[in-house]
Chain A
Amino acid sequence: MSSLTTPARRRTAPARSTAAPAAARVGGTRAALYRYGVGTLAILVSVVVFIVPFLFIVLTAVMDAEQASEFRFALPREFQAWQNLVEVVQTRDYLLVIAFINSTTLTVASVALLVVFGSMVAFVLQRRATRFNALINFLVLAGLIMPPAVVPTIWVLQRMGMFGTMPGLILVEVAFGLSFTILLFRAFISTIPRELDEAAVLDGAGPLRLFFRVILPLLRPVLVTVVLVQSVAVFNDFQTPLYFLPGDAGATVQLTLFNFQSQDLTTYNLLFMDILLITIPMLVLYLFFNRQIVAGMTSGAVKG
């Protein structure tokens, strides 16, 4: 019995004693009080602070326009989810559909390039020590810290004839996201033993084969993380498309939110339906991959 309970108690000890002094001695009842009392309190607070705003989005999204403009947290008088959905999708000649296509293109392409480019850099940077490594590390950190110079970037893109085009925006997203990607990959690659490289080389593998056939498959856990974290970042990015891809034809989903707002009379039920639609992909991602997202964000952040 005691051997069964000690590890558990050891794990709970720090937390319990922060909440209740000397709880370790008093044991059972206090622990239970903490477990249920504080837990219940935390759940109640979380409902008010976190659940209510999300419920508000959902409720407003299915209201009629008149009730939505009252801003009340209330049950819809008329439940018209389908009607709102259709109306949002049809607004301005199906702009939202175009925007979803644009956002998907942008996210998939830039994340794919980020993964390939970033992992290649991380691999060589981690494996080969040269006198340039310090400089490269500095540049990686600079890319993470420094705010990008917006208008000069537009100028460069214009010179290349890529301003206001999807490929241009994709490359900009890649340039801005590279640093974080490299850091995540590098931290993971350092855990892969070098002996593996040597074995592959002895078996006659060239660098491309070594990297894409031997190393890259081993990077799968961190690969999933990078893909998820960067997908969220690119999909939710508002500022970069705003600058680099102006105009309706290239609108991403984040920019569509201003459709229902900039008019004289904001149609709040449609606006919130739009927010809801934009949030759903992230919710689905989180439901399926929450463990990988959480693990990746922490390991990368702490090690990086």
Chain B
Amino acid sequence: MATTAPAPSRTKPATASRRGAGRRRSPYPGWFYLPAALVYAVLFLVPTLLSFYFSMTRWTIFDSEFTGLDNFVQFFREPALTKGFVNTFIYAFVTSGAKVVLGLALGMLLTSQIVGRGYLRAVVFFPVLVSTVGVGITFQVLMHPSRGAINAALAFIGTDGPRWLVDPQLALLSVAMVDVWKGVGLATLIYMAGIVSIPKEYYEAARVDGAGSWTLFRNVIFPLSWPATSTVITLSLIGGLRSFDLIWAMTRGGPGFTSDVIASVIYKQYQAGFYGLSTAGNVILFIAVTAIVLPLTRFLARKEVEL
């Protein structure tokens, strides 16, 4: 019934009224798309398309003047902006790499038989739910170079801690560390789901074949939890490339502009009233995300089939 109902409307689009009647009888009406499509089109699709035009203008919110590729030239000529571009990739790759390694390790640990497993799962995951800005401010205080608790603890065991967020070389990586601290719970969760879903026969077969723990990991756990790996990589890359909240809360791109990323450059230019330049930053981010994530997902999917 359900499959035949829409058929008449497709084969006999004779009169408008009959077509209408056919549609009404279809249990899956097309207008169900409408509310979502409207919001999505007006507030996501249209702005995205507009951004390509506005990125090529000198733009105050009231009028815009076409300037061609000037904004993009400026973006790659000013060291402050270029730094943000490079940092975006460093940040995204460092955080997603760390989340894969730590997530996999924690995932294996927390699916094994250890005491306090429930507590450990809860405690690793909880930061995911906490306000990013709150976490940022907390670690800003903990990482204070002279008074912070982290360096106090390091001094206690006899080493001098680095200057964390105040060190231009280290500021970005310090923020990335906190990002991993906050986000590793989700990666762990995804890995736990992946590892638990591996059929037990594989372990038994491996054990019968006399596989050691490394072989087991290399040939059973890692390849069979590949969907989890691919999810973690994709999610954390997408998140990392557009990351803003944590960086803004912890350093505002400083010291100087050493920990700026594209998202913070966009905000700074917006605040300064350079809307065209800000939008150019958006387009660059858009292109960067497309150029990395699309081939990557394809690669990961192909790898999944091979494994």
Name A residues whose Cβ lies closer than 8 Å to a Cβ of B: 10-22, 24, 31, 34-36, 38-40, 42-43, 46, 49-53, 56-57, 60, 70-73, 113, 116-118, 120-121, 123-125, 127-128, 136, 139, 143-158, 160, 171-172, 174-176, 178, 182, 194, 197-198, 200-202, 205-207, 210-211, 232, 236, 238-239, 242-243, 253-254, 257, 261, 268, 271-272, 275, 278-279, 282-283, 285-286, 290, 293-294, 297-299, 301-302
Contact = CB atoms under 8 A, between A and B. Distances in A.
Contact of A136 (B2, B33, B207): B33
A34 B28 contact: no
B88 to A, nearest CB: 11
A299 B245 CA distance: 26
Contacts of A22: 212
Contact of A150 (B29, B33, B121, B270): B270
A44 B144 CA distance: 24
Given A151-B279, A297-B186, A298-B189, A50 B45 contact: no
Overall SS of chain B's interface: helix
Interface in B39-76: 39-40, 42-48, 50-51, 54, 59, 61
15 contacts: A15-B109, A19-B112, A56-B142, A56-B149, A71-B148, A73-B149, A120-B33, A125-B33, A136-B33, A150-B266, A150-B279, A155-B61, A158-B61, A197-B27, A198-B1
Given A121-B37, A243-B270, A290-B125, 10 more contacts: A72-B147, A116-B35, A121-B33, A124-B33, A152-B50, A157-B43, A171-B43, A198-B1, A238-B132, A257-B131
Contacts of B45: 139
A12 to B, nearest CB: 4
A242 B244 CA distance: 11
B21 interface: no
B142 A43 contact: no
* 10 nearest A-B pairs in the assembled complex, by CB-CB distance: A15-B112, A39-B114, A39-B115, A149-B51, A152-B47, A175-B43, A298-B193, A117-B36, A275-B134, A128-B28
B285 A147 contact: yes
Contacts, number: 311
B228 interface: yes
Given A147-B242, A178-B39, A261-B137, A198 B2 contact: yes
B194 interface: yes
Contacts of B54: 151-152, 155
Interface in B106-138: 108-109, 111-117, 119-127, 129-134, 137-138
Interface in B203-228: 203-204, 207, 212-214, 216-217, 220-221, 227-228
Q: Which of B2, B33, B46, B275 has the most CB of A within 10 A?
A: B2
B235 interface: yes
A211 B28 CA distance: 9
B152 interface: yes
A224 to B, nearest CB: 15
A148 to B, nearest CB: 6
Contact of A19 (B40, B192, B213, B244): B213
A158 B43 CA distance: 11
B98 interface: no
Contact of B200 (A10, A118, A171, A272): A10
Interface residues of B, number: 109
Given A11-B200, A13-B203, A145-B238, A254 B39 contact: no
Q: Which of A51, A127, A205 has the most CB of B within 10 A?
A: A127
B112 A302 contact: no
B182 to A, nearest CB: 10
Interface in B260-304: 263, 266-267, 270, 275, 278-279, 282-283, 285-286, 289-290, 293-294
Nearest to B189: A298
Nearest to B28: A128
Nearest to A198: B2
B5 interface: yes
Contacts of A113: 39
B47 A155 contact: yes
A153 to B, nearest CB: 4
A239 B134 contact: no
A158 B63 CA distance: 13
B220 to A, nearest CB: 8
B164 interface: no
A43 B115 contact: yes
B132 A236 contact: yes
A121 B36 contact: yes
B126 to A, nearest CB: 6
Contact of B35 (A12, A117, A206, A271): A117
B116 A43 contact: yes
B44 A176 contact: yes
Contact of B29 (A154, A207, A239): A207
B139 interface: yes
Given A38-B114, A120-B33, A243-B270, A152 B134 contact: no
A172 B43 contact: yes
B181 interface: yes
